[in-house]
């Protein structure tokens, strides 16, 4: 499918999704949300794709939030539907069978930061700024920000960010535990690609199962979480990848994982 608001590139098992509305600093309108949901599902089904990278087109922004022009005249029901549209779109990335890396190349504000938080790993440029300015617009984060941020950094730090609407540097976000790594701006895509290549070399089935266990850990009590882990761990032993990984170790060679 051709997308109006996204650029999608494929290279050696790595798919890169770029939000492509640079004139509006990649703000998310309904059409872009629907395209994100579509591409998320398509990449999940594409067995040739092992890792997904999400980034923004242009020098200035990853995504400057939900589209304020579109939201301005919404009524209550339209606001709720818009929020749910965002939830559906971002959940396709969070629940994708494969790892998703956000490459935050500039402003990641409001709904933009919420996209990054739905990804598995966040690398950011040292020029990036992040935050939740929604409160200054008379709303609050509605694309998962209240839920995913609180689970990541706890209630108090989340409330400080959301109640103040302040924008913080990538370094500050790193120190709060919101992002994985800050890299020099020019090095961002190189560093993200190095990580993607390292991840890509590993077994896709064990990766999918590990992601499921880690994501579910936020919602399960310890007993249920450990049971899920034991079952998913056991499933690995039904794969050719597990036999290949351990045989390669014994034979002192690098494994070749086929996702079987």
DSSP strand pairing (121-125 vs 167-169): unpaired
Q: Which of 25, 117, 173, 199 binds ligand CAA (CB under 6 A)?
A: 25
Question: Contact between 86 and ligand CAA (CB under 6 A)?
Answer: yes
Q: What are phi and psi of 66, to 5 degrees?
A: -70, 155
Alpha helices in 124-203 (DSSP H): 145-153, 155-164, 170-175, 188-200
Output the smallest distance, CB 69 to ligand CAA, in A: 5
Question: Contact between 131 and ligand CAA (CB under 6 A)?
Answer: no
Question: Contact between 110 and ligand CAA (CB under 6 A)?
Answer: yes
Give catalytic status of residue 134 as yes or no: yes
> Could you give the C-alpha distances from 38 to 108, 134, 238, in angstroms and in order?
22, 26, 31
Nearer to ligand CAA, 86 or 255 (CB): 86
Give catalytic status of residue 260 as yes or no: no
Nearer to ligand CAA, 31 or 244 (CB): 31
Which residue do the tokens 């880690």 mark?
214
Question: Is the dihedral angle over the CA atoms 22, 117, 189, 16 positive or is it negative?
Answer: negative
Q: What are phi and psi of 27, to 5 degrees?
A: -60, 145
Tokens of 133: 């300015």
> Where does this chain touch ligand CAA (CB under 6 A) — which range of 40-48, 58-66, 168-176, 251-259?
58-66
Q: Which of 1, 69, 156, 222 binds ligand CAA (CB under 6 A)?
A: 69
Site string for ligand CAA, 149-188 (x = CB under 6 A): ----------------------------------------
Q: By rule CB under 6 A, what count of residues binds ligand CAA?
A: 23
> Where does this chain touch ligand CAA (CB under 6 A) — which range of 9-17, 65-73, 154-162, 202-210?
65-73
Question: Contact between 65 and ligand CAA (CB under 6 A)?
Answer: yes
Point out the catalytic residue in the list 134, 191, 223, 260.
134
Nearer to ligand CAA, 14 or 179 (CB): 179
Contact indicator for 110, 134 with CB cutoff of 8 Å: yes
Tokens of 65: 């939030």
Tell me how far apart the alpha carbons of residues 203 and 220 are, in angstroms, rounded to a whole number. Answer: 25
Contact indicator for 64, 55 with CB cutoff of 8 Å: no
Residues at the interface with ligand CAA (CB under 6 A): 24-25, 27, 64-69, 86, 107, 109-111, 114, 133-134, 137, 139, 141-143, 145
């Amino acid at each position: 499918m051709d997308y109006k608001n996204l650029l999608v590139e494929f290279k050696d098992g790595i798919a890169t999704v770029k939000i492509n509305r640079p004139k509006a600093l990649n703000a998310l309108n309904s059409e872009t949300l629907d395209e994100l949901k579509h591409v998320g599902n398509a990449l999940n089904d594409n067995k040739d794709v092992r890792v997904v990278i999400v980034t923004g087109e242009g020098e200035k922004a990853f995504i400057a939030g939900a589209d304020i022009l579109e939201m301005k005249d919404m009524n209550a029901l339209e606001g709720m539907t818009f929020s749910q549209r965002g939830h559906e779109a971002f959940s396709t990335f969070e629940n994708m069978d494969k790892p998703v890396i956000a490459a935050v190349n500039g402003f990641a504000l409001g709904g933009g930061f919420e996209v990054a938080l739905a990804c598995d790993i966040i690398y950011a440029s040292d020029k990036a700024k992040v935050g939740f300015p929604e409160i200054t617009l008379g709303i609050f984060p509605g694309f998962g920000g209240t839920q995913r941020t609180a689970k990541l950094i706890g209630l108090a730090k989340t409330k400080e960010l959301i109640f103040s609407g302040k924008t913080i540097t990538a370094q500050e976000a790193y120190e709060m535990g919101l992002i994985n790594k800050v890299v020099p701006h020019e090095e961002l895509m190189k560093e993200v690609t190095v990580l993607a290549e390292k991840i890509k070399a590993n077994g896709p089935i064990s990766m999918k199962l590990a992601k499921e266990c880690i994501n579910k850990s936020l919602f399960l009590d310890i007993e249920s979480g450990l049971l899920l882990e034991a079952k998913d761990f056991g499933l690995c032993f039904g794969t050719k990848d597990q036999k290949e990984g351990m045989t390669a170790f014994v034979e002192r060679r690098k494994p070749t994982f086929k996702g079987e």
